[in-house]
A and B are shown apart, each in its own frame.
Chain A
Amino acid sequence: MQVRVANVRKEFDTFPALHEVSLEVRSGELIALLGPSGSGKTTLLRLIAGLEQPTTGRIFFGDEDASAKSIRERNVGFVFQHYALFRHMTVADNIGFGLKVRPSETRPPAAAIRQRASELLDLVQLTGLEKRYPAQLSGGQRQRVALARALAIEPKVLLLDEPFGALDAQVRRDLRRWLREIHEATGHTTVFVTHDQEEALELADRVVVMSQGRIEQVGTADEVYDNPNSPFVYGFIGDSSSLPIKVEDDQVWLADRPLGLSAPGLPAGPGTLFFRPHDIELLDGCSGCLAGTVAASRRVAGTRRVELEIGGQRERVEIELPVDHPAAQKSRVAFRPRKWKVFPQSALQEK
């Protein structure tokens, strides 16, 4: 089922949580809404679900306008961050709930509901836990039950609100892989919200990067990482270093020194240079490069992060070096980013 969000705006007490957002989720796609807290990602998810009504704009499921439908009629599977399992019901009753509350014409017989619950438990790899109560399960198991419960109603769309947010790192990684497998097995159109970029980049077919109630960029993991289209996305996805620079004569300048980076076609004037700390080349001599004194150096897992003080302006940037690289011991390091991007000042102010 394809989902189309068309110019949706949502205000809470006149405070705009979403500004005119449009998005198309392809049928069968696994898509992530990624952003910091307050970016409107959960609001967008709840609007698609029907838990909130848009102030303006429409939401389509396929060709059908779902905006006017209540969450009951939309037939979506919604998974909450804190599971929202019914505490007083067994695992099997939780999973069967959506079938049990159907009107009598479409309600399957009790035995069929039990059967379906068992099948879904097999699917989420919790075979045999029918009789348990949610309190007797671990966090990861609860979230699996919550997903099984959402799948039981054969939803048109599966929506997950920070599904792994309350779990510890190891369980998150396992569940991530597992969710991918479930998605491939069932083929549901799935939208999930996360503030964890690793989760989004690893799991989703496409990532929707959001900030302050707007969609900044929609793209595959490669697209948003390699070609960020805004300073926000560059800064938010992956590690990045930035420096205030200016563009003149198609060259990038830091104060009055050229950096050896040619920028044809960029408008002259102030801007910000972005690059990835690990994507740099170290230079020996320097007649057009970035050079600075080592201000701090930290070992982070397999690499060493070196903080450099650049020029006289006390601007600091971070670069990443191999752990045993001799440059890490030097007090002065010269380098040039291999891949980089300049956003003119105007692009920054616009946001």
Chain B
Amino acid sequence: MADPVVFAAEATPSSTAGITEQRPARWALMAVAFIFLGVFLLLPLMLVFMEAFKKGVGYYVSTLGERDTLSAIRLTLLVAAISVPLNVVFGVAMAWAIAKYEFKGKAFLTTLVDLPFSVSPVISGLVYVLLFGAQSLLGPWLKANGIEILFAVPGIVLATIFVTFPFVARELIPLMEAQGTRDEEAAISLGASGWQTFWYVTLPNVKWGLLYGVLLCNARAMGEFGAVSVVSGHIRGQTNTMPLHVEILYNDYNATGAFAVASLLAGLALVTLALKSLLEMRYGAEIAATRGH
């Protein structure tokens, strides 16, 4: 047998050299990444804020204080406040069913979860028009009973739920599948009930994934344009969400107003990203521990 020390001495320098690029190649790759991000992401984002504050802070504040704008902000918050919690419940239930049980049609269900991502948001909206519109089967009945869904808040909420459904479920399914059912089996063998198992074992195991899902779901719920646009009817002060209001203001040649509202949405995106990074920094080790196993 050869002396193992010799092997160790040889292995160390060669292993690092093998995976390191030449210096110019490294610089070129980094330059491409930074230029791309700068031109396509950072620059537009800066323009949004520059445009918003073009006529000064006073104008910015007064634009946001307009009645229709405030109502759009309120509606957006309301829609998010309804659809995000519902999607948390749906998402957890869906992920639980897919990850922890074996049943026929599971693969189909998994594919179905992705449907809102794969169809155009316009279609997502049109689906509800076809379902609840005046010409639909349900239309006359809804009208007779005085239930307003289309061109009203319920329609907007439904469309938002449809579009944002996958965020929580998709974040949780791979996580729960990787974790398997051992922990749950252990909890039940120790005498825990189904609810206790869920609260004490399953939920803590997926809490970071769930939080990610909620953040992304919320960002999309507030920012959704296409599907909501189809079902909303664009009634100012009533069925306009923030993204819709941005478009209306822009079409009114009120660019500064449009960008002011847009800057709020952009701010939301930044806050979401910051929160996500903060979580990763603060709880990185714990997140890694509960994710991998």
Contacts and interface: CB of A to CB of B under 8 A. Distances in A.
A305 interface: no
A149 B205 contact: no
Nearest to B286: A88
A270 interface: no
Given A86-B201, A87-B205, A87-B289, A98 B191 contact: yes
Contacts of A70: 188
A77 B193 CA distance: 16
Interface residues of A, number: 25
A169 interface: no
Contacts of A87: 205, 289-290, 293
Interface stretch (B45-53, B110-118, B179-187): B179-187
Contacts of A80: 182, 185-186
Contact of B191 (A84, A102, A135): A102
A152 B191 CA distance: 11
Contacts of A101: 187, 190-193, 196, 200
Given A88-B204, A97-B200, A72 B193 contact: yes
Contacts of A76: 189
Given A88-B204, A88-B205, A101-B193, A72 B188 contact: yes
A190 B293 CA distance: 28
A87 B205 CA distance: 8
Nearest to B196: A101
A49 B289 CA distance: 29
Contacts of A150: 189-190
B188 A88 contact: no
Contacts of B187: 86, 97, 101
B236 to A, nearest CB: 49
Contacts of B204: 86, 88
Interface string B164-194: 0000000000000000001101111111110
Main secondary structure of the interface of B (DSSP, over half): helix
Interface residues of B, number: 20
A82 interface: yes
A203 interface: no
Contact of A82 (B182, B196, B200, B205): B182
A78 B191 contact: no
Interface string A57-94: 00000000000001110011110101011111000000
Interface of B: 182-183, 185-193, 196, 200-201, 204-205, 286, 289-290, 293
B183 A135 contact: no
8 contacts: A49-B189, A70-B188, A72-B191, A84-B183, A86-B187, A86-B204, A97-B190, A98-B192
Contacts of B192: 72, 97-98, 101
Contacts of A88: 204-205, 286, 290
Contact of B189 (A78, A82, A102, A135): A78
Nearest to A134: B289
A86 B201 CA distance: 7
Contacts of A97: 187, 190, 192, 200
A85 B192 CA distance: 14
A47 to B, nearest CB: 13
A128 B293 CA distance: 26
A233 interface: no
A149 B290 CA distance: 20
B278 to A, nearest CB: 20
A97 B196 CA distance: 10
Contacts of B185: 51, 71, 78, 80, 84
Nearest to A50: B189
B191 A75 contact: yes
A46 B238 CA distance: 59
Contacts of A49: 189
A24 B200 CA distance: 36
Closest 9 CB pairs of A and B: A98-B190, A84-B186, A84-B182, A101-B192, A78-B189, A88-B204, A101-B196, A135-B289, A71-B189
Nearest to A80: B182
B186 A153 contact: no
Interface in A143-159: 149-150, 152-153
B10 to A, nearest CB: 27
A111 B184 CA distance: 26
A229 to B, nearest CB: 34
B206 to A, nearest CB: 10
Nearest to B203: A88
Given A80-B185, A88-B205, A153 B289 contact: no
Contacts of B188: 70-72
Contacts of B205: 86-88
Given A71-B189, A80-B186, A87-B290, 9 more contacts: A51-B185, A51-B189, A72-B189, A86-B205, A97-B187, A97-B190, A98-B190, A98-B192, A101-B193
A71 B183 CA distance: 14
A150 B185 CA distance: 12
A82 B183 CA distance: 10
B200 to A, nearest CB: 7
Nearest to A77: B189
A150 B190 CA distance: 7
